[in-house]
Amino acid sequence: MKKDRNVYLQMKTLQEAKEILFGMLTWPKTPRQEAVATPEAVGRVLAEAVFARISSPDAHLAAMDGVAVEAEKTYGASETAPRELIIGKEAFYVNTGNILPPGTNAVIMIERIREAGQDRIVIESPAFPFQHVRKVGEDIVATELLFPQNHVVTPYCVGALLSGGVFRVPVKPRPKVMIIPTGSELVDWRTTPLESIRPGQVLETNSYVLGSLIEHWGGTFVRHEMLKDDVEAIRQAVADGTRGDFDMVLIGGGSSAGSEDFSRRVIADLGDVRVHGVTIMPGKPVVIGTVNEKPVFGVPGYPVSAIIAFEEFIGPVISRMLGQEARQREKTVVKPTRKIPSKLGLEEFVRVKIGKVKDTLVATPLPRGAGCITSLTEADGIIRIPNHVEGIKEQEPVEAELLKPIPALESTIVAVGSHDNTLDVLADQIKASYPAFSLSSSHVGSMGGLMAVKRGVCHVAGAHLLDPEDGSYNLSYIRRLLQEIPVKVVQLVFRDQGFILPKGNPKKIKGIEDLTRKDVRFINRQSGSGTRILLDYKLQEHGIEPDAIQGYAVEEYTHMAVAVAVQSGAADAGLGIFSAAKALGLDFIPVVTEQYDLIIPETDFESDRIQALLAVIRSTEFKARVEGLGGYSTKQTGEIIL
């Protein structure tokens, strides 16, 4: 049976899509509101202006411990002409916060008086009217405006409201959103055992992410039960949501060009599709329309696309419903550590790690796949590449939207180079032992790490570069490539590198010669990585041409990615470290024990952050955790070898 496919017709730019979206929105002529107790109003938006009902303070109060007096009767007092006052008649003892006795208008601090017998005191300086006195209405005057409408109530506001006698406040109802997760491939993580999930099935997580974002932006949500790719069921759910008390409806998944992506079709059947496809990446498949005069969105299924679509469209709609401006992130100028290519015609949201090296904030791009949620959880910022630009040059100053505060970025240890599982242990241990610092590692291969040191865009580079001439690691490359850059080399670990194979080694692979078999698919590491250099050396040693290996050109950037490829059946073998194989319960054939070092520019070596890094590396706890991963030796960990 032929299935219809959606086609992106007349995709809109981000700006055009936003203009269409906000132009189509309608709100009730009479704004809705509800009253909530003042202490419970934090984070809510005021529906009306709020005025004080009482003054604060509501009487003249002593602001110091001492005596209350009529200031005019103290004039002329001095050290040479002290004045005596009668307690209970001309002076009255008061504590801080007491109401001033009738006939008094000033307080003399207790330190400034001297007792002169029973019921008498002596002062040696005059008071002035309202000295050390909190006047009526000093803080709040009855009937004055406390906060205007559309003001967001903060914890500080609670004190002002209660002090002004306002115990309940009128607030705007939180916009209510229905989220409808769709897709026959989805499974419920709450009820499905992990071991029963079949290949191709996907844990449904987007609705929980979207729900949390809705609450973060000031709304509330209801999650509809998951629906299969059944157009009638989806249509009914959308119809029910837009006829009910929801302010908008989100259809999760089903917004792209697939034959079973029903969002556009359902919205068109029930209402009006205004936008299908926006020239942004991730987030291109988003659908925007109205049903029963309420906005309905087809949200892309890939997690990063869903989040970008929310932050660019859905979140701002919630803000507009609450009378707020769309939220803006702090921005700053960064320099990319390497070239970032981009497609003409698409505005791209590139997730980056950011750290301060010398006096410059440097940004290293993360994986750009729309399905990589970790590209956001690990990101420090986002660089937007306009749709008319083909990319950004290396170290070209560019603006980044920050996901973390600048002080946190300035205390980040920027590590670039070869991937190793011990870096995750190191990052965790640094945060536990030295909370002011954090380790951010980008995996670009050993050669990429040395080049980052050469360009001055990192604090640390991880490398395990084998010199085929003498069997040494790293030093010959450092002497050749970093001649003008003084560095220190710290030994991190020795590790077992070898072939990662499926459990049970079903294809009976015994060594490198088996990689040339027609029934063996290999998964490689990227060019410039130490593992790739090791492989090429071994191939040359055995007289094997790379073209003879099926999958030689298929690359991954981490040892764990290689292990996952083997575990999933995408490859029959890959070269990687033992700890990656052990972590996923895979078989392993050792090839070599290699040396993994950290290369640190001398200009950074004595810094607090690097000294903290070294202290952790040399700690007993770190070494024990590394040994527990399997396939590692820490016998020289922390030693300076150059």
Does the structure show a pLDDT above 50 at 334? yes
Report the distance separating Cα 286 and Cα 280, nearest Å.
Answer: 10
pLDDT at site 262: 87
Mean pLDDT calculated for residue range 313-329: 94
Cα three-residue angle 250-255-261, rounded to 5 degrees: 115
Say if CB 355 and CB 459 are below 8 A apart: yes
Residue 276 phi/psi, 5-degree rounding, is: -135, 100
- Dihedral angle, C-alpha 198, 204, 206, 212, nearest 10 °: -140
Burial of 42 (0-12, 13-18, 19+ CB in 10 A): middle
Does the structure show a pLDDT above 90 at 545? yes
pLDDT at site 29: 57
Buried b (16+ CB within 10 A) or exposed e, 94-106: beeebebbeebbb
Amino acid identity of 482? L
Report the distance separating Cα 541 and Cα 165, nearest Å.
Answer: 85
Say if CB 473 and CB 465 are below 8 A apart: yes
Mean pLDDT calculated for residue range 554-566: 95
Residue 574 phi/psi, 5-degree rounding, is: -155, 155
Burial of 368 (0-12, 13-18, 19+ CB in 10 A): middle
Report the distance separating Cα 570 and Cα 522, nearest Å.
Answer: 9
Mean pLDDT calculated for residue range 145-166: 97
Phi-psi region of 373 (alpha: psi -120 to 50; beta: other; left: phi over 0): alpha
Does the structure show a pLDDT above 70 at 286? yes
Report the distance separating Cα 419 and Cα 427, nearest Å.
Answer: 13
CATH architecture of 61-134: Beta Complex (2.170)
Stated as kind and residue range, the H or E segment containing 319 is: helix 315-321
pTM above 0.85, yes or no: yes
146-155, 166-175, 250-259: least confidently modelled range: 250-259
Does the structure show a pLDDT above 60 at 8? no
CATH number of 422-633: 3.40.190.290
State the chain's mean pLDDT as an integer. Answer: 93
- The band of 1, judged by pLDDT with boundaries at 50, 70 and 90, is very low
Does the structure show a pLDDT above 70 at 588? yes
pLDDT at site 27: 67
Does the structure show a pLDDT above 70 at 202? yes
Buried b (16+ CB within 10 A) or exposed e, 8-38: eeebbbbeebbeebeeeeeeeeeeebeeeeb
Residue 254 phi/psi, 5-degree rounding, is: 70, 30
Q: Are strands 340-341 and 347-357 parallel, antiparallel or unpaired?
A: unpaired
Mean pLDDT calculated for residue range 394-414: 94
CATH number of 331-406: 2.40.340.10
Instruction: Select from 3.30.930.10, 3.40.980.10, 3.40.50.10540, 3.40.190.10 the CATH code of 175-321.
Output: 3.40.980.10
Cα three-residue angle 126-130-135, rounded to 5 degrees: 165
Say if CB 89 and CB 110 are below 8 A apart: no
Give the model confidence (pLDDT) of 207-249 as tens digits: 999 999 999 999 999 999 999 999 999 999 999 999 989 999 9
Report the distance separating Cα 40 and Cα 161, nearest Å.
Answer: 12
Mean pLDDT calculated for residue range 573-592: 96
- Domain boundaries, given as residue ranges, for the chain: 34-56+138-171, 61-134, 175-321, 331-406, 422-633
Which of 72, 13, 457, 491 has its CA nearest to residue 279? 13
pLDDT at site 338: 87
Does the structure show a pLDDT above 80 at 402? yes
Say if CB 521 and CB 550 are below 8 A apart: yes
User: Residue 523, Cβ neighbours under 10 Å: how many?
Assistant: 23
Mean pLDDT calculated for residue range 97-115: 96
User: Residue 435, Cβ neighbours under 10 Å: how many?
Assistant: 9
CATH 1.10.286.10 is held by the domain 34-56+138-171: no
Give the model confidence (pLDDT) of 290-301 as tens digits: 999 999 999 999
User: Residue 151, Cβ neighbours under 10 Å: how many?
Assistant: 17
Does the structure show a pLDDT above 80 at 14? yes
Does the structure show a pLDDT above 80 at 136? yes
Report the distance separating Cα 440 and Cα 529, nearest Å.
Answer: 19
Residues in CB range of 54: below 8 A, 6 or more apart: 140, 142, 164, 165
Cis check: omega of the bond before 28, within 30 degrees of 0? no
